[in-house]
A and B are shown apart, each in its own frame.
Chain A
């Protein structure tokens, strides 16, 4: 393994800002894996740290195949991680909305430019992503429908779901969009949680990435093939929105199979404690996302359920 900083910057008063990269193998640019881009993505940091640990062990056993190159960047944003802030420490901009970056531009554009310069040209790109709402997902692979997506390779992670979606205008500045446009086969991995570490889901995630690396001939680590993923698009994702506001009292959790009409949650009065609304599943399927917030607004996205075809 070779460790080197892919970007450094002086701060007015803090310690220097550094983005360390961990390189394995001696070959070409085969796969780049990016962890925490935002300062609350501790699950993503944890998964990457375990990947580095595993790859280091595999390297010691001679099980990283010849002519491959692996780059792991556990975080792009230690400054925000260290002060528990999701976006950039100074101006609250989002590095993941700055790609492909601009090396003469603003700070986060420069960071994005340096990162993209380093990770472009890899055959595969894997980013450990998170969602803007607090909550948990079933671990899954998310692939943008840009015309360049590689859904067949997405199956190699062996995660239960592959979610293919069309990018919206604001998605065109994401790393994964730009990766795809510049010929990298890009995948976003949602590893369950974000600002807390869920060890079981984290392990499922790093094993899925090792499984992918083995399937692509990058490492020599045979393991079972994981799950046969269910691939779906947005039309098969049913969103459950709250009709009332108050205290959210969930009755089910992520990954649970539900039938149409099953009770998913209750909304309680914040003063009187009585149930003011009961939320039932509109479809039969699997709870794909569960919003974890004790206080719920009206019209909030509480659950997303993958609906299976009849």
Chain B
């Protein structure tokens, strides 16, 4: 059943419409899949499509309800704009919103109202247009006890438990977790693209999670991957020391050894190699830069390593 969650007037003969598609019935648990907060992150689009397709195929096997929100920032998704068009603000920094605030704060408030009370929300992101990410969950330490067992069901490669940062209190995940609605953030792939392999993996993971929640009696995925959990090691950030052009990037998700060349930063004007960027540790290359132009400081890679 397709429902309109939000319908707000735009100036010229158009409405800002946020829709969700619900499948199942109102008895039992409720799981919500949300994506499209950042308009340039599209990996969640395939997940929404494929999940709904599979659920429809065996809808009689679903106990409870799954609600899919494919575009929380519909103006952004439809105009290839990461932020909220006309405001240039990151939508994931305005939650929990404000019922008396500006339109975007009002919309954020209404989204939280609609999602509140769900047994689980999965918020799907796909990095940005610069960095490629392996399928991973990101969980604040504050909520890790509750969320870790759920994230482990999702067929991901990695679970990154990060420190609580005050600025992240403005995200949809923190806002929902703070009011007792468990919300897991999934990051995978890269902006402006769909990586079907990752999408299929996450859909398998969601089906597995529905099964573990007692919501699914249909076909199950053959294999669910056990993720690496960041608490057994640490994350190393590698930033550019030179501005230039990236060539020969190592494929992300590789196992790397200390001293391996992750990429080269070159000057296309002089033909010089400015920097051979080497792995400072042995570990899993779970983030790798894809966009070739870099400034000093641009994030090139992240490696998970065991201490």
Interfacial residues, chain A to chain B (CB-CB below 8 A) = 9-13, 86-87, 90-92, 97, 104-110, 132-133, 168-170, 172-173, 239, 241, 244-247, 270-271, 295-301
- Decide yes or no whether B297 CB sits under 8 A from chain A: yes
Is A133's CB under 8 angstroms from B296's CB?
A: no
13 contacts between A and B (CB under 8 A): A9-B296, A12-B245, A12-B295, A86-B88, A90-B295, A92-B83, A172-B167, A239-B100, A245-B11, A246-B9, A297-B9, A297-B86, A299-B107
Known: A132-B89, A270-B12. A298 touches B298 (CB 8 A): no
From A86, A109, A271, give the contact of B297 (CB < 8 A): A109
In this complex, how many residues of chain B approach chain A with their Cβ under 8 Å: the count is 41
Bound CA–CA A158/B86 (angstroms)? 34
Q: Which B114-133 residues sit within 8 Å CB-CB of chain A?
A: 128, 130
Is A271's CB under 8 angstroms from B13's CB?
A: yes
- Chain B hits for A92, CB < 8 A: 82-83, 88
Is A132's CB under 8 angstroms from B87's CB?
A: yes
- Chain B hits for A244, CB < 8 A: 9
- Decide yes or no whether B213 CB sits under 8 A from chain A: no
Is A296's CB under 8 angstroms from B11's CB?
A: yes
Closest 8 CB pairs of A and B: A295-B11, A245-B9, A169-B169, A107-B297, A298-B9, A299-B103, A301-B102, A110-B297
Stretch at the interface among B57-65, B150-158, B235-243: B235-243
0/1 string, B1-20, CB within 8 A of A gives 1: 00000001111110010000
From B11, B128, B168, B237, give the contact of A105 (CB < 8 A): B237
Is A106's CB under 8 angstroms from B239's CB?
A: yes
Is B170's CB under 8 angstroms from A168's CB?
A: yes
- Chain B hits for A107, CB < 8 A: 295-298
- Chain A hits for B166, CB < 8 A: 169, 172
- Decide yes or no whether B244 CB sits under 8 A from chain A: yes
Give the Cβ gap from A214 to chain B, nearest Cβ, in Å: 37
- Chain B hits for A87, CB < 8 A: 88
- Decide yes or no whether B93 CB sits under 8 A from chain A: yes
Known: A92-B83, A270-B11, A297-B8. A106 touches B293 (CB 8 A): no
Is A270's CB under 8 angstroms from B13's CB?
A: yes
Give the Cβ gap from B211 to chain A, nearest Cβ, in Å: 36
